[in-house]
Amino acid sequence: MYEDYQKILEELKTRSHFRNLKDFERKDEKFIYYKGKKLLNLSSNNYLNFADNKAITKEFLDTDGAQFSFGSASARLLTGTLPVYNELEELLANLYQKEGALLFNSGYHANVGISSALCPKGDVIFSDKLNHASIIDGMKLSDGKFFRFPHNDMTALENLLIRERENFKNAFIISESVFSMDGDIEDLKKLVELKIKYNCNLIIDEAHAFGVFGQKGLGVAEELGIINDVDLIVGTFGKAIGSMGAFAVGSRILIDFLINKSRSFIFSTALPPINIAFTKWIIENKLPQTLQKRKKMLEIAKNFGSPSHIIPVIIGENKDTVDLCKVLFHNGYFTLPIRPPTVPIGTSRLRLSLTCEIEEAELQILKEKINEKLLAK
Ligand SMILES: Cc1ncc(COP(=O)(O)O)c(C=O)c1O
């Protein structure tokens, strides 16, 4: 019965696409311990160093955390809503100056639940081609139609809108702000212009920007002053915030619609109260103190040629990329090769993600090793 699976797994191995879990020994802020070595972790979304941080965990437990339980034992719509959930939603709605907010168990839950709920038959979604798998899965689950436009290509999007918009009732444009694999930033101002011109709703996933961009850390929409123009903003807590979960903020009617129609929200046990309380505590007490560190991190990224803290180093072939990761490992860096099908064939790369305690000097040897590899090609 499992022969077909076996065959597929063998094929994956032949093409160097087989995925397996790694046994890390320990994580400690910006470092990760692996195969007996202490390595600078350049493959983590722990952008503000709030996760794997003993001092932060202790401070939270000492001041606030110990009163909260480790299980909610119920979905939000059953008995899963304690005051702390409402307080976090209220905090987010206030920060974004939106009418409502809704928590999801993860960014994956949020995106799957949002696209599938908001786009019934007769409606349409226009989605950036490089949008995250969770957005794609949400669109596949919806009964509406979806089109994918070439990455950050506003002319192609407009041509698509001219051709298709009038064939549908409600329309949505969905994009990430900071792209998870390329670290580049979508032209959100142009998206706002197009959404107005073609009467669409705009949904922006700020998973990698929430906690990093903007004066308050709310994301790229804050930085550009366009929060008001975005109908639904999605953010996640598992990256910069160092916690788990996600949120959407928007109008009361959209939030109420998601509460009633988003299956990933309705049919899943709520996150543990202690986790919700940690997220709220970080956003209220720690995030406001990070502005300088965030600026410094983005400055370092700029010196590597990236507009965000995610730096793609495109090597090309799988083997060259894997070999470079090995060299970097021996020099004290933890990096991961990103290969097809995650990225297009021939664009295998390192995806370096900075965290805010990393000093530029710590990246000197890394820079040299990367340059050596690129020159040798
Ligand atoms: C753009 C984007 N959206 C959503 C997600 C999913 O978030 P989570 O890990 O909380 O499920 C990710 C995860 O990497 C992401 O990159």
pLDDT tens digits along 296-331? 999 999 999 999 999 999 999 988 999 999 999 999
Instruction: Decide: 238 in ligand 1 pocket, CB within 6 A.
Output: yes
Cis upstream peptide for 341 (omega within 30°): yes
CA separation for the pair 11, 7 (Å, rounded): 6
**C-alpha 107 – ligand 1 centre gap (Å):** 5
**C-alpha 207 – ligand 1 centre gap (Å):** 6
What angle separates helix 273-281 from helix 54-63, to the nearest 10 degrees? Answer: 110
pLDDT at 64: 84
Q: Which of 229, 297, 280, 300 is nearest to 46 (CA)?
A: 297
Ligand 1: which atom is nearest the Cα of residue 111?
A: 4
Give CA torsion, residues 251, 185, 287, 49, to 10 deg: 140
Instruction: Decide: 175 in ligand 1 pocket, CB within 6 A.
Output: no
Superfamily of domain 16-48+290-376: Aspartate Aminotransferase, domain 1 (3.90.1150.10)
Instruction: Decide: 138 in ligand 1 pocket, CB within 6 A.
Output: no
Query: pTM above the 0.75 mark?
Result: yes
**C-alpha 163 – ligand 1 centre gap (Å):** 31
- Residue ranges per domain, the chain? 16-48+290-376, 62-288
pLDDT at 204: 99
Ligand 1: which atom is nearest the Cα of residue 244?
A: 10
**C-alpha 338 – ligand 1 centre gap (Å):** 16
**C-alpha 372 – ligand 1 centre gap (Å):** 33
Identify the burial level of 220 via C-beta atoms within 10 angstroms of its C-beta, where 0-12 means exposed, 13-18 middle and 19 or more buried.
buried
**C-alpha 132 – ligand 1 centre gap (Å):** 7
CA separation for the pair 88, 205 (Å, rounded): 19
Ligand 1: which atom is nearest the Cα of residue 246?
A: 10
Q: What are phi and psi of 265, to 5 degrees?
A: -85, -45
What angle separates helix 83-96 from helix 273-281, to the nearest 10 degrees? Answer: 30
pLDDT at 344: 83
| pLDDT, mean of residues 27-50 | 96
Instruction: Decide: 180 in ligand 1 pocket, CB within 6 A.
Output: yes
Please indicate whether residue 342 or residue 205 has the higher confidence score (pLDDT). Answer: 205
**C-alpha 259 – ligand 1 centre gap (Å):** 20
Q: What are phi and psi of 297, to 5 degrees?
A: -60, -40
- Among 44, 114, 134, the mutation site with the greatest number of ligand 1 atoms within 8 A of its Cβ is 134
Hey, whose CA ends up nearest to atom 7 of ligand 1? 107
| pLDDT, mean of residues 249-254 | 98
pLDDT at 349: 93
Hey, whose CA ends up nearest to atom 16 of ligand 1? 180
DSSP letter (8 states) at residue 228: G
CATH no. for 62-288 = 3.40.640.10
Pairing between strand 124-128 and 171-176?
parallel
Please indicate whether residue 48 or residue 376 has the higher confidence score (pLDDT). Answer: 48
**C-alpha 248 – ligand 1 centre gap (Å):** 13
Instruction: Decide: 107 in ligand 1 pocket, CB within 6 A.
Output: yes
| pLDDT, mean of residues 108-135 | 97
In terms of DSSP H, where are the helices of the chain? 3-14, 54-63, 83-96, 107-118, 133-141, 154-164, 188-197, 220-224, 252-261, 263-266, 273-281, 291-303, 318-330, 364-376
Question: Taking 80 as the threshold, does the pLDDT of residue 16 lie above it?
Answer: no
